[in-house]
Amino acid sequence: MKAILIFIAGMMLAGLLKAQILVKGTVKDNKGRILAGANIAIKDSYDGTMSDSTGSFSFKTTEKGNALLVASNIGYKTMELPIVLGTDSVVISFILKEEINELKAVIITAGSYEASDKKKGTVLKALDIATTAGANADISATIQTLPGAQKVGEQEGLFIRGGSAEEAKIIIDGTVVNNFFYSSVPGISQRGRFSPFLFSGTVFSSGGYSALYGQALSSVLSLESLDIPEKSELQVGLSPLFATVGLQQVANNKKSSYGFSYDWTNLAVYQKLVPQAPDFFKVPDFHTADMNYRFKTKKNGVFKMYAYYNSGTLGVRNPSLDSIGLWNAFSLKNQNLFTNISFRQFLGNGWKINIAASVSYNKDEILTQVQNQQYQAVPTTNIPVIDQTGFSLNANQWMLQGRVVVDKRFGAINTIRFGTEVWNNTDSSRFQNINGLFPSKVNDFYKAGFAEADLYITNELAFRPGVRIEHSSLLNKMNIAPRAALSYKLGKNSQVTADYGIFYQTPERRYLINQPPVNFLRADHYILTYQHISSSYTFRVQAFYKDYVSLLKMSNSFPSTVSNTGLGYAKGVELFWRDKKTFKNFDYWISYSYLDTKRDYNNYTDLVQPTFAATHSGSVVLKKFWVKNMFGVNWNYNWSTGRPYFNPNRSPKDFLVDKTIGYSSNNFSLNWLPKIGKANAVVVLGVNNVFNERQIFGYNYSGRLRDNNGDLIRSEINPPADRSFFLGIFLSWGVDRSQQNINNNL
Amino acid sequence: MKKLLMAFAMFATLGLNAQSKYESAMQNGFTKMKESKTVDEMSAVASFFERVGDAEKTQWLPYYYAARNYTISAFMNPSADKDKAAEKVKGLIAKAEAIEKDNAEIFCLKQQVAVMQLIVDPMSRWQSYGAIAAEAIAKAIAIDPNNPRPYLLEGQYLMNVPEAFGGGKAVAKKLFEKSVELFGNFKPASVLHPSWGKEQAEQLLAACQ
């Protein structure tokens, strides 16, 4: 009995010893904002609580004596305050300091259109590209629906903010792709060579890009290839335009993978179904093979190898404007090789290294002929204007590249990057016409070193200084290009960014053969960006000024010589809005660009708006997807005001004063993802220029034939067909490795 | 004898207090877990487990339950910043993993966080976060093939994936069947170890019929 009493007494004593004391207070951050949901605990005890929606907390504890009260909240530095637990209640207030944190921090690269899963501001993914109507799964065509990128119907390339196609560089895994597009055909814009599904990340910068890249006066499109794919897969694609087969094999442990694909494109059937305006006497016929090998190293390193080979032929014929009854025939044979090896490895302690190397080769054999009614070559008509249009050109390009970039992270998310790259370009060509044979060979060994730092002063304010130093052996000149970006966060989702940079580029090598020494071309960028990005929508306004300090200019004399006296400017405002959430399974974006640009370069005779620039342009992209039926409908409307064209009937002082009619195109596509047997299928139907709108990209003028008014006659440059179609079915039989491991256990 | 009894009584009271402090705290947490209905109550339970974990330093289970409750509360709250919640949970998972390596239950947590982040933007996150989720489950099964929860979680996930992407009821059903079968023989390592999921697996299996 006594024992029981003592037991009870003991329990009470224990309880008494644990007399409870009230601890209460508030949690705020260093800007005085209330912090709800912060954890409050007495160190090394279970006692504590969470702060409520007013930032207050209160709890009772049985701890005694000196103790530490700990307050922690995600995104803030944990804080410990000493307290004395005696008999009175304790009141304490915490002011937590914000931690610099990737999720919260201002985005330094706010000016670019970036698509990676890590970042919130994802704008363009492979799937987005494949489902943009009118783009036909072409990366560059989708980029043309973004502000700042100009649609130029008669020529391939990225025309960014008043820049020519040569001023944009496209980069795959750190190395430049010299021939990203299929070889040029006069008057017909060509596609990009690479499928969007090769890439996991796309960064499109319409200006003010990082010091890691160079040799582009306007912009850089950087594509990062996939690491190890998810699935082993066999893919087959069929269309009236092409047939493709590919295999991707992923190792059981998902540490390595290899794959190859073969693709045959032939437009014979398509051109029978959809009549083309020019006469394709040699139907476009392309063979493409590619392969890849990737493996993961220890410590999360990745090694990737990619090789691409393509060969193709085509021939196209248009009536000659210089003589009734004659034809101008153009034929092309192209071979293209692109290889890239890249390796990235974490070295510990915040260090990371990226190494990349690439070999690429391109060969164009071009023949243009004057042909008679029977399509036989006319060797000479004794009319120089006509005879000069015939020529043959064999052009070879080799490019070798190597690149090393080292990253070091320090502090929370501050990063410095530095590295070097070397390019060796060799171009050789043989041009032959009635005036003779003109062989040429030109080599440029280019070296660059670069460094930049991402410095987060607070979560709200970040600064990215950078510098790039380049040397070209061809020019025998060096340059130093500073770059800087300053970003300030205005609210949870909104920020402003100011970018500045000097950008240099070696002039096109073909202009530099047997010429006096020239210097790098140069453009200075000033960009101001406001953006508001949440997980549901993106809104962005950009204003820019681009000063073309130095462009190449040809003299009027014969033979003409080149100099750095060309110049120009581009300024404008761009708007972008994308909303994925407001309407369920409905995604749309709207972009608008205003561009005011003039330049005096190449053979221009005045400071004028160039032929590749339209003052106003915009696009609306709509995508609706029904998940239940796995069915999607996409619409795209592209519009721009007319572009200047050269009219030889004008007096020389009225250079490029004429403009084409505006451009307008409505495009439509359907995609349906049924399951056919064991295969996942994707069926795509696309119609470009649904309403058959008249599109004129410019004019070709005769060199000698005149109409009744005495003007030189001309022909319109139109798309090969007003309305174009695409139909394709893609089947894939896949084995998901993770899934397979799970299924093995069932 | 009396002295002995007294000593025993003293020892018992002290001993009870000392020995079971952790265990009773955990049990206390389980009770609160059962009682909590709102998002705030859930996160309060989670923060309680986190405090226990921080105080104990050598126990991974408090972190496990803290992570689990934070995850559930984030799932329950439609206006929660799921990416931020995921950061919190990942921190707790890391603490648990530092104590207990290669545990199937921890890999189950990893899958749940990945799924939570996936549903923020399924169209664009499906590839990357789906892969992380699948990998976590595969790892959990490799570590402990007789644990019913990885199958349950995988089934739950695949049930919501369209058939064309390898999901659907038929696929999920097989996983639930396996899970229910394993629950028949499943014994948690201790009363504190995870034991949840049986009812859920049965309900989901019924929903697939």
Q: Is the Cβ of A116 closer than 8 Å to some Cβ of chain B? A: no
Binned at pLDDT 50, 70 and 90, residue B3 comes out as: low
> Same domain, yes or no, for A300 and A246?
yes
CA triple B168-A119-A502, angle to 5 deg: 145
Q: Does B153 touch chain A (CB under 8 A)?
A: no
A129 and A40 share one domain: no
Judged by CB atoms closer than 8 Å, whether chains meet at B47 and A230 is answered as no
Distance from CA of B156 to the nearest CA of A (A): 14
* Interacting residues of A296 by C-beta distance below 8 A, sequence separation 6+: A227, A228, A254, A255, A256, A302, A303
Q: Give the mean model confidence (pLDDT) for residues B153-170.
A: 85
CATH number of the CATH domain containing A62: 2.60.40.1120
Do the chains contact at B55 and A680, CB–CB below 8 Å? no
- Do A673 and A568 share a structural domain? yes
Residues A262 and A244: beta-carbon distance below 8 Å: yes
Beta bridge partners of A714: A701
Residues linked to residue A489 through DSSP beta bridges, in sequence order: A495
Q: What is the mean pLDDT of residues B148-168?
A: 87
Is B123 within 8 Å of A738 when comparing Cβ atoms?
A: no
Q: What is the pLDDT of residue A19?
A: 72
- Rounded to whole angstroms, how far apart are CA atoms A110 and A530? 8
pLDDT value of residue A121: 42
- Judge: B51–A254 Cβ closer than 8 Å, yes or no: no
Q: How many CB pairs under 8 A join A and B?
A: 118
Average pLDDT over residues B22-27: 91
- Determine whether the interchain pair B44/A50 forms a contact, defined as Cβ–Cβ distance below 8 Å: yes
Calpha distance A182→A311 (Å, rounded): 10
Question: For A672, which residue in chain B has the nearest alpha carbon?
Answer: B164
Average pLDDT over residues B82-91: 89
Q: Tell me whether residues B162 and A630 touch, CB distance under 8 A.
A: yes
Query: Hey, what amino acid is at A455?
Result: L
Query: Mind telling me how many Å the CA of B115 is from chain A's nearest CA?
Result: 14
A372 plus A516 within the same structural domain: yes
Say whether both A88 and A124 belong to one domain: no
Angle value at C-alpha A515, between A509 and A518, nearest 5 degrees: 70
Residue window 14-33, chain B: list those with CB within 8 Å of chain A: 14, 17, 25
Q: What is the mean pLDDT of residues A691-715?
A: 93
- Whether the CB of B131 is below 8 Å from some CB of chain A: the reply is yes
A523 burial (CB, 10 Å; 0-12 / 13-18 / 19+) is buried
A412 touches chain B (CB under 8 A): no
Q: What is the pLDDT of residue A305?
A: 96
Q: Contact at 8 Å (CB) between A397 and A508?
A: no
Residue A11 has pLDDT above 60, yes or no: no
Longest dimension (CA), chain B: 77
Chain-centroid distance of CA A269 in Å reads 33
Reduced to 3 DSSP states, what percent helix, strand and coil does chain B have, rounded to the nearest 5? 80, 0, 20
Neighbouring C-beta atoms of residue A88, cutoff 10 Å: 9
Q: Which residue of A has its CA nearest to B47?
A: A39
**Residue B198 to chain A, least CA–CA distance (Å):** 18
- Is B124–A741 a contact, with Cβ atoms under 8 angstroms apart? no
Strands A168-172 and A219-225: parallel
A37 and B5: CB-CB below 8 Å? no
> Which residues face A728 on adjacent strands?
A684
Q: Give the angle A78-A82-A83 at the CA atoms, nearest 5°.
A: 125
Would the CB atoms of A2 and B6 count as touching at under 8 Å? Answer: yes
Nearest to A70 by CA among B1, B151, B51: B51
Q: A173: which 2 tokens? A: 């895994």
Q: Is A268's Cβ below 8 Å from some Cβ in B? A: no
d(CA A492, CA B92): 25
Q: List phi, psi (to 5°) of A422.
A: -130, 140
A307–chain B nearest CA distance, Å: 24
Average pLDDT over residues B180-194: 92
Q: Is A212 part of a structural domain of the chain? A: yes
Out of A96, A121, A140, a domain closes at: A96
DSSP string, A468-526: EEEEETTTTEEEEEEEEEEEEE-SSSEEEEEEEEEEEEPPPGGGGTT------EEEEEE
Residues shown for chain B? 209
Of A14, A44, A736, the CB nearest to B17: A14
State percent of chain A over pLDDT 90.
Answer: 61
Q: Are residues A89 and A47 in the same domain?
A: yes
- In chain B, residues 162-181 whose CB comes closer than 8 Å to chain A: 162-166, 174-175, 178
| A103 inside domain | no
pLDDT of residue B15: 46
Window 119-158 of A: residues touching B by CB (8 A cutoff) are 122, 125, 127
| Strand blocks (E) in A297-350 | 302-319, 327-348
Q: Do B164 and A75 touch (CB under 8 A)?
A: no
Mean pLDDT of A114-119: 52
List chain B residues with CB under 8 Å of A742. 134, 137-138, 141, 150-151, 154, 175
Between positions 435 and 494 of A, the ones with CB within 8 A of B are none
* Residue A628 reports pLDDT greater than 80: no
- Please, which pLDDT band fits residue A115 given cuts at 50, 70 and 90? low
Whether residue A1 lies inside any domain: the answer is: no
Distance CA A569, CA A548 (A): 5
Domain that residue A139 falls in:
112-744
Q: What element of type H or E holds A422?
A: strand A414-433
**Cβ atoms of residues B149 and B136 within 8 Å:** no
Please work out, in degrees rounded to the nearest 5, the angle formed at the alpha carbon of residue B21 by the alpha carbons of B15 and B27: 125
Measured between alpha carbons, how far is A342 from A174 in angstroms, rounded to an integer?
8
- Pick from A228, A742, A744 the residue to mutate for testing the B interface (most B CBs within 10 Å): A742
* CB–CB contact B13 A738 (8 Å): no
Q: Which residues in A529-544 are b (16+ Cβ under 10 Å) and which e? A: bebbbebeebbbbbeb
Contact A746 B50 (CB under 8 A): no
Mean pLDDT along residues B107-127: 86
| A374/A395 Cα distance (integer angstroms) | 29
Mean pLDDT of A494-498: 92
Whole-model pTM? 0.82
| Residues in a beta bridge with A492 | none
Is the separation of the CB atoms in A143 and A149 below 8 Å? yes
Burial class (CB in 10 A: 0-12, 13-18, 19+), A441: exposed
Q: Is A529 within the bounds of a domain?
A: yes
> Across the interface, which of B43, B121, B138 has its CB nearest the CB of A50?
B43
* Shortest Cα distance, chain B CAs vs residue A491, angstroms: 16
Of the two residues B209 and B7, the one the predictor is more confident about is B209
Rounded CA gap, A634 and A127, in Å? 12
What are the chain B neighbours of A745 within 8 Å (beta carbons)? Answer: 141, 145, 178
How far apart CA A556 and CA A558 sit, in angstroms, is 7
A42 and A162 housed in the same domain = no
Q: Is A118 exposed, middle or buried (0-12, 13-18, 19+ CB in 10 A)?
A: exposed
Preceding peptide of A559 cis, ω within 30° = yes
Distance, first Cα to last Cα, chain A: 61
Q: How far apart are CA A361 and CA A428, in angstroms?
A: 12
| Residue A474 to chain B, least CA–CA distance (Å) | 45
| Confidence grade of residue A665 (pLDDT, cut at 50, 70, 90) | very high
Residue A122: its pLDDT value, please? 43
Co-location of A191 and A277 in the same domain:
yes
Looking at the 3D structure of chain A, how many domains does it have?
Answer: 2
Same domain, A333 and A370: yes
Q: Is the pLDDT of residue B150 over 80?
A: yes
Within 495-524 of A, beta carbons closer than 8 Å to B belong to none
- For residue B14, the chain A residues in CB contact (below 8 A) are 10, 14
Give Cα B127 to chain centroid, integer Å.
24
pLDDT band at A110 (very low <50, low <70, confident <90, very high): low
Distance CA A387, CA A369 (A): 9
In a domain, A315, yes or no: yes
> What is the rounded CA–CA span in Å between residue A375 and residue A377?
6
B92: nearest CA partner in chain A: A74
**Range(s) for CATH 1.25.40 in chain B?**
103-209
Angle, alpha carbons A730-A736-A737 (nearest 5°): 145
Which residues in chain A touch residue B77, judged by CB atoms under 8 angstroms apart? none
Task: Name, in order, each residue with C-beta under 8 angstroms of B144's C-beta and a sequence gap of 6 or more.
Answer: B103, B104, B150
A4 interface with B at CB cutoff 8 Å? yes
Closest residue to A230, CB basis, from B51, B131, B163 = B131
Per the structure block, which two tokens stand in for A641?
A: 């005001």
Closest by CA to A405, choosing from A173, A679, A218, A193, is: A173
Is A285 in contact with A294 (CB distance < 8 Å)? no
Record: contact B51-A47, CB cut-off 8 A: yes
For residue range A596-616, list pLDDT tens digits in order.
Answer: 999 999 999 999 999 999 999
Which tokens hold the place of A472? 């070209």
Please state, rounded to an integer, the average pLDDT across all residues of chain B.
Answer: 87
**Window 50-89 of B, Cβ < 8 Å to A:** 50-52, 54-55, 83-84, 87-88
Q: Which fold has domain B103-209?
A: 1.25.40
Contact A594, A616 (CB under 8 A): yes
Measured between CA atoms, the residue of chain B closest to residue A227 is B128
Q: Is the same domain home to A192 and A315?
A: yes
**Rounded-to-integer distance, Cα A527 and Cα A504, Å:** 17
Average pLDDT across chain A, whole number: 89
**CB A46 to CB B175 under 8 A?**
no
User: Which B residues 88-127 touch A at CB under 8 Å?
Assistant: 88, 91, 120-121, 123-125, 127
A465 token code pair:
């200084």
Specify if A13 maps to a domain: no
| A300 and A386 housed in the same domain | yes
Q: Give residue-wise pLDDT tens across range A448-483.
A: 999 999 999 888 899 999 999 999 999 999 999 999
- Percent of chain B scoring above 70 in pLDDT: 89
Q: What single string gives the DSSP state of each residue in A223-275?
A: EEE-SS-SEEEEEEEE-SSEEEEEEEEE-TTSSEEEEEEEEEEE-HHHHHHS-
Residue A6 pLDDT exceeds 60: no
Q: Which residues of B touch A580 (CB under 8 A)?
A: 121, 123
Instruction: Please report, for the domain that includes residue A614, its CATH number.
Output: 2.40.170.20
Say yes or no for a CB contact (<8 Å) between B6 and A117.
no
Question: Do B126 and B120 contact (CB within 8 A), yes or no?
Answer: no
Tokens of B84: 């931020």
Q: Euclidean distance between the first and final Cα of chain B, in Å?
A: 66
Tally helices (H) and strands (E) across chain A. 6, 41
Please check whether residue A3 lies inside any domain of the structure.
Answer: no
What pLDDT does residue A118 have? Answer: 46
Same domain flag for A76 and A150 = no
Position A8 in a domain = no
pLDDT at B12 over 60: no
User: Which pLDDT score is estimated for B208?
Assistant: 87
Question: Between A103, A736, A742, which is nearest B141 by CB?
Answer: A742
pLDDT tens figures, B44-80: 999 999 999 999 989 999 999 999 999 999 988 888 8
Q: Which residues of chain B are within 8 Å of residue A230 when distances are taken between CB atoms?
A: 127, 130-131, 134
Contact A357, A401 (CB under 8 A): yes
Closest CA to A302 of A231, A402, A229: A229
pLDDT: which is higher, A517 or B9: A517
A117: confidence class by pLDDT, cuts 50, 70, 90: very low
Verify whether the Cβ–Cβ distance B51 to A46 is below 8 Å.
yes
A520-545 tens-digit pLDDT: 999 999 999 999 987 778 899 999 99
Residue finishing a domain among A96, A128, A144 = A96
Q: Select the residue from A46, A199, A733, A741 to test the B interface by mutation, using most B Cβ atoms within 10 A.
A: A46
Q: Indicate the length of chain A as a whole number.
A: 746
CA atoms within 13 A on the CB side of A525: 34
What angle in degrees, to the nearest 10, is found between the helix axes of B104-118 and B61-76? 20
Q: What phi and psi values does residue A140 have, to the nearest 5 degrees?
A: -70, -30
